[in-house]
Amino acid sequence: MGDGTKSGKGITLQTQSFTIKEVVYIVSVLIHKFNLECSIHMQRNQPTIYIKSRSIKKIKPKLLPYVFPSMKYKFQ
């Protein structure tokens, strides 16, 4: 829950420890199963996942029950 940062109006998931193939798989699941608008960005030649703000609004109600109270500020 701590490996995400606000980026502009969206969120970047810090997935640098994953291979590009794994990140592509994660993004494909987010797009096809959850209908989210997201993309892969590179930071220092490592992949990260960017999720657009309108997608965050869409999935927020489903995620909040699983987010620790100390991390809920990231969704405001």
Q: What pLDDT, in 10s, does the model give residues 13-70?
A: 999 999 999 999 999 999 999 999 999 999 999 999 999 989 988 888 888 898 888 8
Angstrom distances, CA of residue 36 to CA of 26, 29, 44, 69, 71: 11, 9, 25, 24, 21
> Which structure tokens are listed for 18?
């994953």
Instruction: Choose between 18 and 2: higher pLDDT.
Output: 18
> Which structure tokens are listed for 15?
């997935």
The one-letter amino acid at 4 = G
What is residue 71's predicted lDDT score, i.e. its pLDDT? 80
Please state which of the four CATH numbers 3.40.630.150, 3.40.50.20, 3.10.28.10, 3.40.50.720 is assigned to the domain occupying 4-71: 3.10.28.10
Q: Where are the domains of the chain?
A: 4-71
What is residue 1's predicted lDDT score, i.e. its pLDDT? 46
CA atoms 68, 69, 70, 75: torsion sign: positive
**pTM metric for this prediction:** 0.82
Three-state DSSP class for 19? coil
